[in-house]
Structure 1
């Protein structure tokens, strides 16, 4: 059993897909869009995606820093709005003492220009180019990123306009984040199985039920049933269903969870505010 200092700590700040859903019937699972914090054993703070969940994360990080510089690493899966729409409200970007490195599938200039776009006139009153924090941009496609003894690997997913998944490996422990993706393309399906092999945790896009998916082919998302198949085929220890559909309230999600556990018992819902040690 690993001690807390040796663990990777995962905290979900946003688990919803497509659009935030801040309504009472969704609050058990959460209404913010995609954002995962990963605290590495070496102390580094890594963030996956900048959906609306990154706003409260940024506030918490600034409170924790208590005026000291923060060095943050933000891995973007892709640039659809639900995965970047919280970044204009990410407090660490507004302090010149902080450094934020953005990792994505685009070139550094393309990443910068894309993030500038959502904060340009007339969409936002603050220009991304003039944010005080030090900003760095890295094309992470097909390369490894090392944080001490932790390795982050990107891999491609089947999604409109492209998307990256990420695996985090520290020693013999591994976490795999796979959202957004649509199953059914052998090349991508095999790649995911390979990356997720024997993972301690697989976080998987389960936006649709199998019945819903029949009418949503090509939308770029998968189902809870496919999630359980991947988990079994890859031999993962724990499956977390992620990217919950805006129309799925807490009761619906728990019904989905019950169905998924009949296929793969170690299935759980990714839940906003939840912290997991690996």
Structure 2
């Protein structure tokens, strides 16, 4: 059976050849701030994505069709693998980072429902094959663009020629050596250099059976939500988030960041920003980000500690 990475490479070549996959070409640079070398990608051409986003709905008499769910059904040309009985892996149709994977529930579940054992089982299965960054944008204020529940996974490193750090680390990991136990409650910790509210924990997702690793990850996730002040609320018998948040997961750690806003000065920030990676639309936004400072930008869309 082919590996997940081999399946991604094969399907990427196919999807590019048939036009199903649209790479957003970018140039990238670095901004040093707060002890982190942030990587910033600047879009060179957003025309195709903007055309798809802004296209008016097809008229059907006096009726306006509901927004289309791109995951039900998903495009077969973007299908990578069956990860589990409950989740499939798809290529991100408009990708900024190569081999950007979406981990999507087969049946509709809302993006604001809390992650469950099935979600973490699928994510851990993918992380065991790809040393990458898994993330979840919990709500529109956290950068979610689709209401259908989906996690995401990008390979590490986030850029291929970062001048500093381990090749398998996200830029933000430069600060993690200073993590301190939060109120004596292990394994939950805070990172003193991060100026926004968060909760952090070390994780070893490579040990034990996949089921055991998923259960440990689920317990850690729920504990981090609680420590970060993201309450669970019941909606029709299903646990939902009581506030927007971002979740970042690697084989080695997990981070939860509650959110207060989706943008700063027109710059949209999702989970990748808290990993140390920004995407801006043009040179003007790059200049704005440099003036604000990436760490201050993260602080402005987060919550005060």
Fold match by TM threshold 0.5: no
- Kindly name which structure, 1 or 2, has the bigger radius of gyration based on alpha carbons: 2
- State the TM-score, normalizing by the size of structure 2: 0.27
- State the TM-score, normalizing by the size of structure 1: 0.29
